[in-house]
Amino acid sequence: MDEDDSIGEGPVSHRSPLATVPARVVLAAATGAYAWWAVSRPAFSASAAAAVLAAGVLAVAAGAATRPSRRPVRDRVDGWGAWAVLAVTAAGWQLAAYVQHPRHDHPTLSSLANALLDSHPARAVAFAVWLAGAVHLARR
């Protein structure tokens, strides 16, 4: 076989165009800019709801579109009952706090999150993380 015959027969890359470093930098910058804008929408407004839900649905769609066709998943999950008990207990604790007032004395997870995300940068970062979570969850 001539040497020239081997040209172009190396491992074929199947990486997504979005996997390149420049593309990721651009995507991260665009996500950050959008997050900054989205969290500045007036609370309880239609524009806020649209900004959040449109981006969320887009992130879910992007995750679903890049979902691996075959992903190793254990057939049997040991100890899921412990997680279920923990989830029910957490939901009960949250509900007990929710139905009591004043909120300061009975904080819910939402009120704690709001206190934590009380600045524009923190809220924008949290929004970007939420979008990344949507992509990640949809890829599962």
Residues that bind another protein (CB under 8 A): 38-39, 41, 43-45, 48-49, 51-53, 56-57, 60, 71, 73-74, 77-80, 82-83, 86, 89-90, 93, 96-97, 100, 104-107, 109-110, 112-114, 117-118, 123, 126-127, 130-131, 133-134, 137-138, 140
Q: Which is nearer to another protein, 23 or 140 (CB)?
A: 140
Contacting residues for 67 by C-beta, under 8 A, at least 6 apart:
138, 139, 140
Q: Which amino acid is at 11?
A: P
Q: Which is nearer to another protein, 12 or 73 (CB)?
A: 73
Q: Which is nearer to another protein, 20 or 47 (CB)?
A: 47
Provide the minimum distance between the beta carbon of 7 and another protein in the complex, in angstroms, as a whole number. 42
Provide the minimum distance between the beta carbon of 16 and another protein in the complex, in angstroms, as a whole number. 21
Q: Which amino acid is at 119?
A: S
Q: Which is nearer to another protein, 14 or 101 (CB)?
A: 101
Cα 5 to Cα 2, 11, 85, 106: the distances in Å are 5, 15, 62, 73
Provide the minimum distance between the beta carbon of 29 and another protein in the complex, in angstroms, as a whole number. 20
Give the C-alpha separation, 94 to 60, whole Å. Answer: 27
Indicate the burial class of 35 (C-beta count within 10 angstroms; 0-12, 13-18, 19 or more): buried
Cis-peptide, bond into residue 102, ω within 30° of zero: yes
Provide the minimum distance between the beta carbon of 33 and another protein in the complex, in angstroms, as a whole number. 16
